[in-house]
């Protein structure tokens, strides 16, 4: 792995964004622990950040914790449902993840949510840091190595087997709420769906979150894309992605809920009881 050097984000970079309206978690204040250069161990074909600029799996401190503390203080009184770590890439790449989660708890008294692609979950230090989260939402878009390669475009050397092993290891330790988030670009075969149901059962999530690309992909990295902008508010060029139909998503959700007994949520529907 080449060593990377990141310049400190300048004073105009906003580490706090939103609140955004999340169909999963309600009013969400975002913390971006990554910075102005999008950085992720995946480069998903649908990523709302555009093409990932730093495609890496090594951890480092991108933004000093004290900078995040000051920005979070300025966002008081935090009248939101949750505070979410996401932003410009994969938040578990941030070495100060645990410190940031501690800040959220101590300063805001709001539940913290970490949106992760799960690629670092075999790392005990990442597992340890995530123990301070109230909720972790893990991405699971692929049930075959080919899907992982085509949809998530992982850094080299990461196998589906290793990814799932990390998720299971983490689930075995994590006592709080754990959700599975899955982006669907095309309908799955019955065999793929059955494999997915088996994997999900083994992870015992609180909820399955099925999504489809309802937001277009920026042609290049745009910080504004961290929030949820109406089309007329977007000032950057985008490429539309074809979402799965509402009916197809609902039918798949119904089948999965029946097969797993786990509640399924999608942006088209409230959680089924």
Binding span for ligand SF4 by CB under 6 A among 44-52, 106-114, 162-170, 202-210: 44-52
Using rule CB under 6 A, residue 44 touches ligand SF4: yes
The 3-class SS string of 170-188 reads: HHHHCCCEEEEEEECCCCC
Using rule CB under 6 A, residue 52 touches ligand SF4: yes
Binding span for ligand SF4 by CB under 6 A among 35-43, 71-79, 192-200, 209-217: 35-43
β-strand 54-55 against 39-40: which pairing, if any?
A: parallel
Q: How far is the CB of 241 from ligand SF4 (least distance, A)?
A: 12
Select the residue interacting with ligand SF4 from 31, 49, 82, 167 (CB under 6 A). 49
Residues 93 and 41: beta-carbon distance below 8 Å: yes
Can you give the length of the chain in residues? 273
β-strand 217-218 against 238-239: which pairing, if any?
A: antiparallel
Q: How far is CA 170 from CA 120, 124, 231, in A?
A: 10, 9, 38
Binding letters toward ligand SF4, positions 74-113, x by CB under 6 A: ---------------xx-----------------------
Site for ligand SF4 in 108-127 (CB under 6 A): 117
Distance CA 94, CA 60 (A): 5
Residues 144 and 192: beta-carbon distance below 8 Å: yes
Q: How far is CA 182 from CA 70, 132, 151, 253, in A?
A: 34, 24, 11, 11
Q: How far is the CB of 273 from ligand SF4 (least distance, A)?
A: 29
Binding span for ligand SF4 by CB under 6 A among 18-26, 38-46, 104-112, 198-206: 38-46
Report CA 146 to chain centroid distance, whole Å.
21
Binding letters toward ligand SF4, positions 177-216, x by CB under 6 A: ----------------------------------------
Taking the least distance from each CB to ligand SF4, the nearer of 118 and 260 is 118
Six token digits for residue 94? 């941030």
Using rule CB under 6 A, residue 47 touches ligand SF4: yes
Binding span for ligand SF4 by CB under 6 A among 42-50, 97-105, 122-130, 186-194: 42-50
Using rule CB under 6 A, residue 43 touches ligand SF4: yes
Residues 228 and 20: beta-carbon distance below 8 Å: yes
Residues 186 and 146: beta-carbon distance below 8 Å: no
Residues at the contact surface with ligand SF4, assessed by CB under 6 A: 40, 42-44, 47, 49, 52, 89-90, 117, 139
């Amino acid at each position: 792995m080449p060593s990377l050097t990141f310049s400190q984000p300048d004073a105009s970079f906003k580490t706090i964004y939103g609140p955004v309206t999340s169909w999963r978690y309600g009013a969400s204040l975002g913390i971006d622990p990554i910075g102005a250069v999008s950085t992720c161990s995946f480069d998903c074909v649908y990523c709302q950040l555009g093409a990932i600029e730093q495609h890496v799996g090594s951890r480092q401190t991108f933004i000093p914790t004290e900078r995040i503390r000051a920005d979070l203080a300025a966002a008081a009184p935090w009248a939101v449902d949750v505070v979410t770590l996401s932003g410009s890439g994969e938040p578990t790449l941030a070495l100060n993840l645990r410190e940031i989660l501690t800040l959220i708890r101590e300063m805001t008294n709001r539940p913290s949510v970490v949106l992760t692609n799960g690629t670092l979950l075999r790392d005990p230090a990442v597992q340890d840091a995530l123990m301070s989260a109230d909720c972790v939402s893990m991405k699971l878009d692929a049930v075959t190595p080919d899907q992982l390669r085509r949809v998530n475009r992982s850094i080299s050397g990461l196998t589906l087997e290793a990814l799932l092993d990390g998720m299971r290891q983490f689930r075995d330790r994590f006592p709080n709420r754990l959700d599975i988030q899955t982006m669907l670009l095309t309908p799955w075969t019955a065999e793929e769906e059955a494999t997915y149901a088996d994997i999900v059962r083994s992870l015992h999530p609180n909820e399955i979150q099925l999504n489809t690309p309802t937001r277009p992909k920026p042609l290049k990295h745009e910080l504004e894309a961290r929030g949820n902008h109406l089309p007329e508010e977007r000032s950057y060029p985008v490429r539309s992605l074809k979402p799965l139909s509402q009916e197809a998503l609902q039918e798949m959700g119904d089948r999965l809920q029946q097969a797993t007994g786990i509640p399924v949520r999608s942006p088209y529907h409230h959680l089924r009881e």
